[in-house]
A and B are shown apart, each in its own frame.
Chain A
């Protein structure tokens, strides 16, 4: 799949680096590969929490599987090799990211979440995607406190 241009992504997630900022937040002060893998799962759970009521668990899993498949063209480790179970998929993602270098794990995670967002936007449009995922990218309260003087 041809990735969208950055200015198109901005419409979907409003803040160009919202994905990166959110991952960085949940990865904590030492963002090694394991921390980045854990952060990815946290974000993934947030996405699931906000989308499942509307499109069902199966709907979310189908989108994740497709996103993993597309991301695997760049990050081969993300290939799912016939995994369909929701829990197995999450374990697979965590293991695949944790086995990378810190930088590459961050890039792969960012790539995966970007593709997922694009897929959703292709199906239901930019504005509705932005609306549904806005709570995922919202800055957590403790982060605001951290940045306060």
Chain B
């Protein structure tokens, strides 16, 4: 005999919510949705209700004074999930304003119980409990106290064979009401405004019987309702193709698409590695990223570019544009200034899965940081780590570009301190020789692999990046003031990219 009670989990119909709930909403659970006015509580409740309610699984939605029912129906209709055909069929609204008008909370409880007994709904919503309490405060003859009322309501909601929701305003951190203890599930919604960006976040503080995804998760409310972007987690075993972490053990390597660069990397970039290309403005980072994607297409490996430039069409090459139009390279381009990294990761993962992409270029981290809402910037490095880990866990090779201020007093590879997060690093620099600006490139790091330690000159031609030979005759190049070591002719690459 199986002594365990199987718990059915209901799909909420809210994108991303089931993932952070730990697989869906437990059937017959009593849940509390809390948040400040305008945080999206009622919309979330409606979206769940319209997704779950159907013939044979009816929903009762009790409204109190918080939001005028007419207005609520008017505004909720703007969402695509609203289906008028379900009203008075599988969804029934009950207004409790007459019961609450005298502050008699006992009457409210009686009415709720009566309606539930009459309809035997599978889903019950009470919106909102803050309104219930504040209205009763105005009446001196409340039969039962507010906390007692909430406790009774919580017990009633728990006792019915229904999945129930209490929607309301309450402070999660300070002096949480006892109802939080009774509840099986507690979902808190937050919204914060920083400068001129507004960010919505959701936290599942509790969901009995299942492991929820901890922490804050960003969400948006659009015409389709609430969409949650679960914070990327690092899977030890996602079932996806694992990246070979040690190229020395026979892992595959992928071609970058720039002649001689593969040799510098020790035979190409190990598949599933993340690589940072750091350099000053105009040094050729985007062109290197483009070559990486074009080479992938040539080899039948679809790729994706995540761009954050204000004028993306100008910064992209025609070849890349053609491949994007042909659907061989995916494009995620955003100029929004209130993104969360998790939102980008969510879109990226969906695109990777739909295109079976194996190469991703993020151009650039500088643009990415600007696009992220200010409130997330302090966590940028941590989020970046999660993103790289999530992509790496999928076996995707990632090339990220990073704007590097040309300083000659110290040797820096990334302004984000993100160099240690990546498996490989290529650095590009300008040097001055004979009153000419020349470009040099070096492989700084390829984790677990031998690689070139040479500083090579390179040029950008119509054919792309042409890597020349090492700069043999000079020293002190990274300091920006190379000095001639011998009295021989300065080593200047010819137009073919080859040194004399």
List residues of chain A with CB under 8 Å of any chain B CB: 52-59, 123-125, 127-128, 131-132
Contacts and interface: CB of A to CB of B under 8 A. Distances in A.
A98 to B, nearest CB: 29
Contacts of A128: 73, 77, 84, 87
Interface string B57-70: 00000000000111
B95 A53 contact: yes
A52 B84 contact: no
13 contacts: A53-B93, A53-B94, A54-B95, A55-B73, A56-B69, A56-B97, A58-B97, A59-B69, A124-B73, A127-B84, A128-B77, A128-B87, A132-B88
A123 B74 contact: yes
Specify the main secondary structure of chain A where it touches its partner.
Answer: helix
Contacts of A58: 97-98
B87 A131 contact: yes
Shortest 7 CB-CB contacts between residues of A and residues of B: A56-B95, A56-B97, A55-B69, A54-B93, A128-B84, A127-B84, A124-B73
A132 B97 CA distance: 19
B85 interface: yes
A125 B84 contact: yes
A43 to B, nearest CB: 19
Contacts of A125: 74, 77, 84
Contacts of A131: 84-85, 87-88
Given A52-B95, A125-B77, A128-B77, A59 B70 contact: yes
A124 B74 contact: yes
Nearest to A134: B88
B208 to A, nearest CB: 32
Contacts of B87: 128, 131-132
B69 A54 contact: yes
Nearest to A130: B84
A55 B84 contact: no
B52 to A, nearest CB: 20
Nearest to A124: B73
Interface in B49-106: 68-71, 73-74, 77, 84-85, 87-88, 92-95, 97-98
B77 A124 contact: yes
B94 A59 contact: no
A59 B98 CA distance: 11
A87 to B, nearest CB: 14
Interface string B132-168: 0000000000000000000000000000000000000
A135 B58 CA distance: 20
A58 B85 CA distance: 25
A59 B84 contact: no
A123 to B, nearest CB: 5
Contacts of A59: 68-70, 95, 97
A129 to B, nearest CB: 9
A61 B376 CA distance: 48
Nearest to A54: B93
Given A53-B93, A125-B74, 19 more contacts: A53-B92, A53-B94, A53-B95, A54-B95, A55-B68, A55-B69, A55-B70, A55-B95, A56-B69, A57-B97, A59-B70, A59-B97, A123-B74, A125-B77, A128-B84, A128-B87, A131-B84, A131-B85, A131-B87
